[in-house]
Amino acid sequence: MSSVTIRALKLLKELSISKFTRLNQDIRASQLRVIDEDGNQLGILSRTEALQIAADRELDLVEISPDAKPPVAKVVNWGKYNYQRTKQLQKNKRSTKVLEMKQMRFGLKISEHDLGVKLKKVTDFLEAGHKVKITIFYRGRELAHKELGFKLAEKVIGDFGEAIVVDQSPQFVGKQLNFVIRSSHAKVKSS
């Protein structure tokens, strides 16, 4: 094995260990900055002294910041601490909104009515807060007229006007012309 592979394996092992919260006897550091249950700093103590303080108060010693120098440990009731931390993580997870990239495909010879129907669907995606990747695909000899796809892209962007922001300008890739739009938080007009 090369030295790069060995270093990568050691790094992965360290990351997987630090992912879990250590408490009481699982704490490895010999010196700890200890905080009591009221939030007061008790100072830098040895591991055995910190464990003794936690045992005297009938609480647990929890390593809350293992990467600090020296690591920070807190004397707390583990059950209550873990419950509050789990609830906070769930609250944070709920408040984050996952935005998806929606996609709409047009043929080069799309009729006005069909284009209107598809642009209405794109409008719905934009109003929901999604980004939309629009793909104009070419078939056969249509590749000889790439400028028609760029005209169609300009028409789509023009129909939305000020209501959108173009995140990725039209780019020709393979047999497709792609561009990405998102709402500019203005009211999107229907086509």
Q: Give the pLDDT score at 6.
A: 62
Q: Are residues 111 and 135 in the same domain?
A: yes
Interatomic CA distance for residues 170 and 153, integer angstroms:
7
Of 93, 118, 140, which marks where a domain is finished? 93
**Is 10 among the domain residues?**
no
Number of domains composing the chain: 2
Of 93, 117, 148, which marks where a domain is finished? 93
Interatomic CA distance for residues 107 and 111, integer angstroms:
9
Of 63, 93, 123, which marks where a domain is finished? 93
Q: Give the pLDDT score at 181.
A: 93
Q: Are residues 112 and 72 in the same domain?
A: no
Q: Are residues 121 and 143 in the same domain?
A: yes
Using one digit for the tens of pLDDT, what is the confidence trace for 19-35?
577 888 888 888 989 99
Using one digit for the tens of pLDDT, what is the confidence trace for 108-139?
999 999 999 999 999 999 998 889 999 999 99
- Longest distance between any two alpha carbons in the chain, whole Å: 83
Q: Are residues 145 and 84 in the same domain?
A: no
**Is 190 among the domain residues?**
no
Distance linking the first and last C-alpha atoms of the chain: 61
Q: Are residues 112 and 74 in the same domain?
A: no
**Is 188 among the domain residues?**
no
Interatomic CA distance for residues 27 and 64, integer angstroms:
10
Using one digit for the tens of pLDDT, what is the confidence trace for 2-14?
555 565 555 445 4
Q: Are residues 142 and 88 in the same domain?
A: no
Q: Which residues contact 24 (CB under 8 A, 6 or more apart)?
A: 51, 54, 60, 61
Amino acid found at 135:
T
Amino acid found at 141:
R
What are the Cα distances from residue 139, in Å, to 106, 142, 145?
A: 11, 6, 11
Q: Which residues contact 13 (CB under 8 A, 6 or more apart)?
A: none
Q: Are residues 42 and 71 in the same domain?
A: yes
Q: Are residues 179 and 109 in the same domain?
A: yes
Q: Are residues 89 and 40 in the same domain?
A: yes
Interatomic CA distance for residues 46 and 34, integer angstroms:
9
Task: Tell me the whole-structure pTM to 2 decimals.
Answer: 0.49
Q: Which residue has the tokens 């695909």?
A: 137
How is residue 80 written in tokens?
Answer: 């209550």
Interatomic CA distance for residues 75 and 36, integer angstroms:
5
Q: Give the pLDDT score at 77.
A: 87
Interatomic CA distance for residues 97 and 133, integer angstroms:
19
**Is 7 among the domain residues?**
no
Domain residues for the domain of 147 are 101-183
Share of the chain above pLDDT 90, in %: 32
Number of other CB atoms surrounding residue 166 within 10 Å: 14
Q: Are residues 141 and 82 in the same domain?
A: no
